[in-house]
A and B are shown apart, each in its own frame.
Chain A
Amino acid sequence: MLIFGNLIYVSCLLINAIAILSEDRFLARINFSPSSYDPAFGQSADASVQAKIMNLIASVRTLMRIPLIVVNTLIIIYELVLG
């Protein structure tokens, strides 16, 4: 059970790390923002690895924002009470 708990922590922290990436200051600068991405000629927009990663980051940031608030609160309360 210890390992499952660690797995949950690790995945939660990783998703947190994806979710706090700043769109303007970080992602746009390294050309990972969907608004500034410009595929090379002849490539379809969602084929390359970079486009896939970009999509993944954008969707995680959009989808997981509100669930992450809940999950983080739960984990914080758990750590405060039982940790």
Chain B
Amino acid sequence: MQRSGYGQSPPLHHPVPQHVSTVPQLRSPPPLTSQPQSGYDGSPYQQQGRAPSGNMFGQYGNFINDPAAQLASQFGQTAFKQGQEYLEQNVNRFVSVSALKHYFNVTNSYVINKLWLVLFPWRHKPWSRKQTVSPSGQEGWYLPPRDDLNSPDMYIPVMSLVTYIFLQTLIAGLRGQFQPELFGYIATTALVVVIVEILGLKLGCYLLSISNESQLLDLVAYSGYKFVGVIVTISIAEIVNGGKGTGGVIGWTVFAYTFFANALFLMRSLKYVLLPENNNNAQGPMQTMPTEGRAKRSQRLQFLFFYAYIVQLFFMWILSRP
């Protein structure tokens, strides 16, 4: 409507009256219309004050209709789409999103049962992961955590990592030592622990020539389960010791219990990641000798034991310090 107005009226150099003429048509909210209309031909101050809000509406309407703006918005959309594709490609190069989705496919009962399993792994019996076969019968894959209790998931590790950060900060706050940097500090500590652990595991896998597909994400998931034990240790020790850290008899007892539970859980679970049952990756006929397979297996078992007990002891001790 402003456009049509251009043809008839002589060109106005000052834009204010034009906008004012559009204001009463476009504006609908009740509190503003209830104000006296005389304000428009009243003081110029009120005009100036009202102009911007109506102005915004008018310009917005024009903005949509303007061909240049349409072009620009189309251009923006394509640029955005291309950027998204680029991002997806580059993200997919490092972590495949569909593989990650598999790890977050959990249910409430799975989470509860898994937490129970991490804390009380003593009587659990079948530790092997369930497999399913595709309808063609050719390929099989592991069931997602939703259907299989023994499958690793990422939900519990991520949530317990976040909970751990908040819990440590909360405890520091209860002691009156809260600082905002504490979030970053604790988060970096936890992340560095996980990163160092993954690097060490990958190095061990390389040295022992353990190869398994989708193994890295499994290892990341398993290395996050110790936060559950650490959280339990910290909270129980805090409650019992009355805010004096995780020391004391009860604190260390709970720590030892969660440590052994976590270690047993890792031993049993990682057995199926690190120790493939069928050693059919032998290249030469010489390697099928049973002695060498046995030696390799015992090497791997030692590595697994070292990881599940000694490395975990060190990292859980670091994490459960106040």
- Chain A residues within CB distance 8 Å of chain B: 1-4, 7, 42-44, 47, 49, 52-53, 56
Query: Across the interface, do A3 and B284 meet the contact criterion of CB distance under 8 Å?
Result: no
Beta-carbon nearest neighbor of B181 in chain A? A1
The reply to whether A49 and B286 contact each other, CB–CB distance below 8 Å, is no
Beta-carbon contact of A4 and B289 below 8 Å: no
Q: Known: A49-B207, A52-B206. Is A2-B284 also a contact (CB below 8 A)?
A: no
Bound CA–CA A1/B186 (angstroms):
10
With A49-B207, A52-B207, A52-B209: A1-B284 Cβ-Cβ less than 8 Å: no
Closest A residue, CB atoms, query B208: A49
List, sorted by A's number, 7 A–B pairs whose CB atoms are closer than 8 Å.
A2-B185, A3-B188, A42-B286, A42-B292, A44-B284, A52-B209, A56-B207
Q: Name the distance in Å between B201's Cβ and chain A's nearest Cβ.
A: 15
Q: Is the CB of A56 within 8 A of B206?
A: yes
Interfacial chain B residues near A53, Cβ < 8 Å: 207
11 more A-B contacts (CB under 8 A) besides A1-B184, A7-B192, A47-B287?
A1-B188, A2-B188, A3-B185, A4-B188, A42-B292, A43-B292, A44-B283, A44-B284, A49-B208, A52-B206, A52-B208
A3, A4, A43, A44: which has the most chain B beta carbons within 10 Å? A3
In the complex, chain A residues whose CB is within 8 Å of the CB of B208: 49, 52
B53 at the interface (CB under 8 A from A): no
Contact with A along B194-215 (1 / 0, CB 8 A): 0110000000001111000000
Name the distance in Å between A12's Cβ and chain B's nearest Cβ.
14
User: For B196, what are the chain A residues with a Cβ–Cβ distance below 8 Å?
Assistant: 7
Q: Does B84 contact A (CB under 8 A)?
A: no
Q: Give Cα A3 to B286, complex, Å.
A: 47
Q: In the complex, which residue of chain B has the Cβ closest to the Cβ of A41?
A: B286
Residues of B within 8 A of A47 (CB): 209, 287
Q: Which residues of B contact A2 (CB under 8 A)?
A: 185, 188
B27 to chain A, nearest CB (A): 51
* Chain B residues, CB < 8 A from A52: 206-209
Tell me if B's interface is mostly helix, strand, loop or mixed: helix
- Cα A5 to Cα B207 in complex, Å, equals 27
On chain A, the residues within 8 Å of B287 by CB distance are: 44, 47
* B 249-271 binary contact with A (CB < 8 Å = 1; else 0): 00000000000000000000000
B185: A residues at CB distance < 8 A: 2-3
Is B189 an interface residue, CB under 8 A from the partner? Answer: yes
> What CA separation (Å) do A56 and B205 show in the bound complex?
13
**Set of chain A residues within 8 Å of B298, measured between Cβ atoms:** none
Q: What are the residues of chain B within 8 A of A43 when measuring CB–CB?
A: 286, 292
User: Given that A1-B184, A44-B283, A56-B206 are contacting pairs, would A49 and B299 also be in contact in the complex, using a CB cutoff of 8 Å?
Assistant: yes
> Do A42 and B189 touch across chains, with their CB atoms under 8 A apart?
no
A4 near B192 (CB under 8 angstroms)? yes
Residue of B nearest to A4 (CB): B188
B-side contacts of A1, CB under 8 Å? 184, 188
Measured between C-beta atoms, what is the minimum distance from B203 to chain A in Å? Answer: 8
Contact: B286 with A44, CB < 8 Å? Answer: yes
Q: Which of B255-312 touch A at CB < 8 Å?
A: 283-284, 286-287, 289, 292, 299
Instruction: Find chain A residues with CB under 8 A from B207 CB.
Output: 49, 52-53, 56
Q: A53 vs B207: C-alpha distance in the bound complex, in angstroms? A: 7
Q: Which of B187-244 contact A (CB under 8 A)?
A: 188-189, 192, 195-196, 206-209
Question: Shortest distance in angstroms between A63's beta carbon and chain B's nearest beta carbon?
Answer: 15
Docked complex Cα distance between A42 and B185 (Å): 52
Residue of B whose beta carbon sits closest to that of A3: B188
In the bound complex, how far is the Cα of B292 from the Cα of A4, in angstroms?
41
